[in-house]
Amino acid sequence: MYESTFTVSGMVCRNCEVMVSSAIERIEGVTGVTASPGSGLVVVTSERPVDRARVRAAVADAGYEVATGPD
């Protein structure tokens, strides 16, 4: 299993957490998502290294933004 951590801007409540998690869970190979609205941290567990661009796109589709950082 692989783990990738992202910081999501604007994720401040339980509803935000659900929206972001649901969007990321639809990515093929993702086996779990743990989101913390207070910190904005999202940990993605996957079968293989996750495509960070796909995660950014899924988060954007949910109406949020992954904070800029190294890929």
Q: What is the pLDDT of residues 4-58, one digit of tens each?
A: 999 999 999 999 999 999 999 999 999 999 999 989 999 999 999 999 999 999 9
Confidence at residue 71, expressed as pLDDT on a 0 to 100 scale: 47
CB atoms within 10 A of CB 4: 16
- Pairing verdict, β 30-36 and 41-46: antiparallel
Tokens 């190294």: give the residue: 70
Is pLDDT of 61 > 50? yes
DSSP3 helix / strand / coil % (the chain, rounded to 5): 30, 30, 35
- Domains observed in the chain: 2-66 (3.30.70.100)
Structure-block tokens of residue 30: 């993702």
CA–CA gap between residue 38 and residue 14 (Å, rounded): 9
The residue that leads in pLDDT, 71 or 58, is 58
